[in-house]
């Protein structure tokens, strides 16, 4: 057990900084598949549906295992849980780089995705150990900004890495292996826990039926459904947009990667602003309504032109719409009376719903292309799924800005809650 007096409070940024960088690096690796897909498809002779399978496969395990794995992994302390999953992720990446065929590559991405989702309960515990409740939206906003910087940077850089390695997708993945090995070493050396008396008391008062008590929260489900549609649109574009632009408008992978990266980067930056806004005003509903509509419109617009300045403008505003993420992602931390393990399960549920959308997006897009032969139409249709955010904004009870109730709120009846946070 770590004595909190042994660690200065500013050290929390070292712990969470390393953990979040390792986490978003995993999503970066999964997100670069669209850039690598043309080379992978050419070498392995993949059909559009197989390409869709490869694009979504990193999230399949999350659909089935996110909640039971989150419940099971929440029994373990965050330091060893993170260390073990990082080592596993590094090894599985190595398997992908040397995969002899489609099946091994597919399975490698499935297992890599499982290692990423198994690590998420550690985030819930570390956030509660090191930060006060009022700071959680800030932490999630910073996480979103890091997601934009790392994932966006990775998507933008991957075409250059691919070219530098002679268009070898295998060597590109090997470079990711090196990155993960470094992040694993940094976490093992610098990652620490901070277990206070208050945290132990809250953990000790945990409801024995963790899974049921967490999933009874109505607004947890609404937030999850909002994530499904938004991530369906995003993953469909991430997997197929570079191929579409190359074939339809002769826009190079470098430009496609840059366009997608700009949107991801802007989403991270705008998440900071929306996170602050929802802390000081009652604008959560407006944010969800506006970002859902804006995302659908800009995604459709991105399929209708090959003009680079116009595409840059569209993806800029598309990225602004993605600033909703930390607002909706913070809901599990603020549900009335929620306890540490329930937060971990709640985050696992949100991650599962997000992964459901990411897994369905490429599959649905690939199937539509296979049946219609029109990738532009398929991308335009999948864009409409992001309107689920508008539904969440309309149906979720109360103002999201009131997500400041502490976890010690006396009420323990989720069915009577008046807000999603």
Give residue 6's pLDDT.
Answer: 44
Residues written for the chain:
421
pLDDT in tens, 245-265: 989 998 988 898 889 888 888
Angle CA 17–32–56, to nearest 5: 105
Q: Which residue carries 């989150």 as its tokens?
A: 70
pLDDT in tens, 179-207: 999 999 999 999 888 876 666 666 655 55
Give residue 414's pLDDT.
Answer: 40
Q: How far apart are CA 365 and CA 229, in angstroms?
A: 13
- Alpha-carbon distances of 335 from 214, 355, 388, 397, rounded to whole Å: 9, 22, 21, 12
> Where in the chain are the domains?
7-416
Q: Which residue carries 């008062």 as its tokens?
A: 205
Which CATH code fits 7-416? 1.20.1250.20
Question: For the ranges 39-43, 47-51, 282-286, which has the lowest average pLDDT?
Answer: 282-286
Give residue 282's pLDDT.
Answer: 66
User: With 60 as the cut, is the pLDDT of residue 419 above it?
Assistant: no
User: With 60 as the cut, is the pLDDT of residue 405 above it?
Assistant: no
User: With 60 as the cut, is the pLDDT of residue 284 above it?
Assistant: yes
**Which DSSP category does 193 fall into?**
-
pTM above 0.85, yes or no: no
pLDDT in tens, 104-145: 999 999 999 889 888 888 888 888 888 877 677 778 788 878
User: With 70 as the cut, is the pLDDT of residue 399 above it?
Assistant: no
**Measured between alpha carbons, how far apart are the two ends of the chain, in Å?**
31
What's the whole-number mean pLDDT along residues 18-40? Answer: 87
Q: How far apart are CA 233 and CA 297, in angstroms?
A: 11
Q: What is the dihedral of CA 315, 318, 323, 328, to 10 degrees?
A: -140
């Amino acid at each position: 057990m770590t004595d909190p007096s042994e660690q200065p409070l500013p050290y929390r940024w070292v712990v969470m900084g390393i953990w979040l960088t390792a986490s978003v690096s995993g999503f970066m690796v999964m997100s670069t598949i669209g850039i690598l897909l043309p080379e992978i498809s050419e070498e392995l002779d993949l059909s559009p549906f197989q390409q869709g399978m490869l694009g979504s496969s990193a999230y399949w395990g999350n659909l089935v295992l996110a909640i039971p794995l989150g419940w099971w992994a929440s029994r373990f302390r965050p330091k060893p849980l993170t260390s073990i999953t990082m080592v596993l992720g590094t090894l599985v990446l190595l398997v992908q780089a040397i995969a002899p065929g489609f099946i091994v590559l597919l399975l490698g991405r499935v297992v890599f995705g499982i290692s990423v989702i198994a690590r998420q309960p550690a985030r819930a515990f570390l956030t509660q150990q090191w930060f006060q409740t009022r700071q959680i939206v800030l932490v999630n906003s910073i996480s979103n900004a890091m997601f934009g910087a790392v994932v966006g940077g990775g998507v933008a850089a991957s075409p250059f890495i691919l070219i530098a390695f002679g268009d070898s997708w295998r060597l590109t993945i090997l470079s990711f292996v090196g990155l993960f090995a470094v992040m694993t070493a940094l976490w093992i050396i610098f990652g620490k826990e901070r277990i206070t008396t208050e945290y132990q008391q809250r953990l000790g008062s945990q409801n024995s039926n963790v899974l049921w008590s967490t999933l009874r929260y109505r607004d947890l489900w609404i937030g999850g459904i909002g994530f499904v549609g938004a991530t369906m649109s995003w993953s469909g574009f991430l997997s197929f947009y570079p191929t579409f632009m190359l074939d339809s408008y002769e826009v190079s992978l470098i430009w496609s990667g840059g366009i997608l990266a700009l949107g991801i980067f802007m989403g991270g930056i705008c998440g900071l602003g929306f996170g602050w806004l929802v802390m000081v005003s009652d604008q959560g509903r407006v944010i969800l309504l506006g970002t859902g509509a804006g995302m659908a419109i800009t995604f459709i617009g991105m399929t209708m032109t090959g003009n680079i300045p116009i595409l840059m403008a569209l993806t800029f505003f598309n990225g602004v719409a993605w600033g909703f993420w930390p607002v909706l992602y913070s809901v599990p931390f603020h549900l009335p009376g929620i306890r540490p393990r329930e937060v971990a399960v709640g985050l696992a549920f949100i991650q599962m719903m997000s992964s459901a959308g990411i897994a369905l997006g490429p599959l649905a897009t690939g199937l539509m292309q296979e049946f219609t032969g029109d990738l532009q139409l398929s991308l335009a249709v999948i864009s409409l799924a992001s309107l689920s955010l508008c539904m969440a904004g309309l149906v979720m009870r109360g103002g999201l800005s009131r997500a400041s109730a502490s976890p010690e709120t006396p009420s323990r009846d989720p069915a009577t809650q008046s807000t999603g946070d």
